[in-house]
Every structure is written in structure tokens, then in C-alpha cells.
Structure 1
Amino acid sequence: MMLYTNTDSMWCKVFPSTLGGIAQSWFDKIPKGTITSFRQLDILFRSQYVANIARERMTGELMSVVQGLQESLRDYISRFNLEASNIPKLQQEVVVLAMMSGPRGGEFKSYLGRKSFTTLAEVLEKANEFIKSEEIGRETS
């Protein structure tokens, strides 16, 4: 529902319909007549629930996603992609750098060190080739 209005009284009346659960209970406990403007309600609500505001994740945080000692390349790539999907403004240069520094030593890491990539898609395409090779090697062993 879109609401086009500039009146404080309308915003104050509509606001409770957007709440549920403990936020609704909190709102219901506000003594009648104590809120005089929507701005005041906004400040009161934000101060009550400031800890619940999700922080936007940054691309640089992917630098901490590294392949575990016993983690397969497939599992690492899946975990990396999951983390990357939670970052709204993914910067390709940084995500490529993070992907290149995350794998533990081995053929894939060595290969990444010799090549230049500009997008995550390029790195993932190569990773998929190494994953297939790694899995075929395990099956024949």
C-alpha cells in the first residue's frame, strides 16, 4: 500500500498498522496523548529498536572468507557465494580479489595467481572447472 500524505496525524494513525509482535506491544504501551508529532514517534521508535537495524554489509568483508583446511573447493565456493549474495553493492574488483585470496594452497590458488580476472563470474567459471576435476579425481581414487 502506498500512502501519499504530508500530515503528521495521518502518519501517526497509519504507523501502528505496520507493526507486529513485540513492536506492536511496545507501541500499545505508549500512554495516549504523549506523542505530539510523527517526528517524535519516529525518534522514539528508532531509539527503542536501534539495535535491530541491520548494518549494510560491505564487499571488503569477503576478505575474511577463506577456505577451511578440510573444506572442499565446492563447499568453499558455495559459502563464498552465500556471503557475497548478502552484500547489496558488490564491487567486482574487491570481490575478485577476495575470491583470489580465499582458497588455501593448491592448483586452483596457483592458477588464480597466474591469471587476471575482472569479474566474479570469470573466477567462478574457472572454479567450476577445478571443482569438476577435483571431484573426478576423488571418484577415481
Structure 2
Amino acid sequence: MTNRRRSSFTDEIEQTEPSREFSIPHFTFFKWDEDPEKHLKHYRSAMTLYRNNDDLMCKIFATTLQDEARDWFYTLPPQFIRSFNELSLVFTKEYSSYSSIKKKSDHLFNVKKNPKKPFHDYVKRFKVEKANIVGCNDSIARAAFQKGLPADHPLFGKLIMKEDLTLTDSFTLAEKHALWDEAR
């Protein structure tokens, strides 16, 4: 007798088979560090033709999980999931801490140059933070970039003197300064 692990789904869900006409839609796979709500929206959208088949929604959803998320799914107790709504709730609860926090442009004022780290580190961190802000206001970002520099930093004065600089111009000046700084 083999010792097989029982499915996390009820027997009814586990025994459901897709119809012969069923063609699995294209999904993006979910990894552990992504937004679960976004993944569920994508999944529901892709499975719109099969929404009335709750059992199939459950079984196919399990195939969209990857890496740690798939491992998590297999840790659920046997016979634990009875519906897609239940699966969605458990999934969202498990991964909600990984949902992206929506930041505004003024968040960039928190990014400061660390005096113990090279200048290019500040530029890189600032760009990463800016990229994570949807609809970031470039004027605010430019002001925050300048404010994140110590007042005695050589680039600080250059940025203040050129009020009409765009954020792109500021980054270009910063990158030139970083290259010059590294060459010294």
C-alpha cells in the first residue's frame, strides 16, 4: 500500500475533470513575492469562460503557483479547500503581506545619500524607488533627488544653480559626477 498524501481539495474538486473542449489559458505564474490580488484578477480574467465551474477554477489555479507558492499550497491540510472563494481567501491571506504598497512621489524625500556609501549607490537607489512609484511626478522627484544630497556635496550646488533641469538632466549630471568621482 502506498502512502499518498491526500489532496488539499475536497474529493469532489479533486475528481473534477475538464471537458474535452477545455483549453488551458495562458497564465502568468505566481511566485511568493508578488501581489496576490493582482494574480487573482489575472487568473479570473483568463478563466472567464469557466467561472461557473468552481471545481475547475480551483484545480487550474493550483497550476499557476510556482516555487515557494507551490510549496505553500502543498502544506495545506487534506480536504481543506471546498470552493474557489475559499481558496482565494486563504491564498490572499497568506500572501497579502507581499502586496505592493502604493507610494506617492513625495516618498522620494526619504531617500538620502549615505555618507559611507559611494555616490552611484545613491543614484541607483533613487532610480529604483522612483521606478516603483506609478505616475511619479518628475518635478517632485527632481526636488527630492537634490534634497537627498548633503548640502556640501559638489553636485548639490550644480543642481541648485540650474533650476530648469529636468529629472533626466539631473540623472545625467549625477552619472557624469559618479564617473568623475570613481576616476579620482
TM range, smaller chain: 0.7 to 0.9
Is 2:132 the counterpart of 1:86? yes
Q: CA deviation at 1:129?
A: 3.4
SS at match of 2:75: helix
Higher mean alpha-carbon deviation, 101-110 vs 64-73, is at 64-73
Tell me the residue number matched to 1:11.
Answer: 57
Identify the residue that residue 131 of structure 1 maps to in structure 2: 178
The CA RMSD measured in Å over matched residues stands at: 2.7
1:57 Cα shift? 4.1
Return the match for 1:31 from 56, 76, 79.
Answer: 79
Aligned to 1:103: 149
CA-CA distance at 1:121 after TM superposition = 0.8
Q: Give the TM-score of the pair, scaled to structure 2.
A: 0.59
Q: Offset at 1:52?
A: 3.2
State whether residues 11 and 38 of structure 1, in contact with CA within 8 Å, keep that contact through their aligned partners in structure 2: yes
- In 2, are the aligned partners of 1:93 and 1:118 still within 8 Å (CA)? no
Paired residue secondary structure (2:116):
coil
2:115 partner SS: coil
SS at structure 2 position matched to 1:26? coil
Q: Which has more helix, going by share of residues?
A: 1
Report the AA paired with residue 155 of structure 2: F
Counterpart contact for 1:92–1:118, Cα < 8 Å? no
Corresponding residue pairs, total: 134
User: 1:133–1:41: structure 2 CA closer, same or farther, 3 Å change rule?
Assistant: closer
Q: Where in structure 1 are there 5+ consecutive unaligned residues?
A: none
Q: Structure 1 65/53 Cα, relative in aligned 2: closer, same or farther at 3 Å? A: same
Q: CA deviation at 1:42?
A: 1.3
Contact 1:66 1:102 in 2 (8 A): yes
1:89-126 deviation line (CA, Å, top 9, x unaligned): 43312211211111112321112122224632111122
What residue in structure 1 maps to residue 123 of structure 2? 77
- 1:72 and 1:130 map into 2 onto residues whose CA distance is 11
- What is the aligned-residue identity percentage? 22
TM-superposed deviation, 1:67 = 1.2
Structure 2: 5+ residue runs without aligned partners? 1-25, 27-45
Tell me the distance in 2 between the aligned counterparts of 1:80 and 1:112.
16
Q: Is the 8 A contact 1:96 1:117 kept in 2?
A: no
Question: Relative to structure 1, is the Cα distance of residues 54 and 25 closer, same or farther in structure 2, using a 3 angstrom cutoff?
Answer: farther
Letter in 2 for 1:94: I
In structure 2, how many angstroms separate the alpha carbons of the residues matched to 1:52 and 1:85?
Answer: 18
Find 1:52's aligned residue among 80, 84, 98: 98
Which AA in structure 2 matches 1:91? N
Cα deviations by residue, 1:69-107 (Å, 9 ceiling, x for unpaired): 233333321232233333344331221121111111232
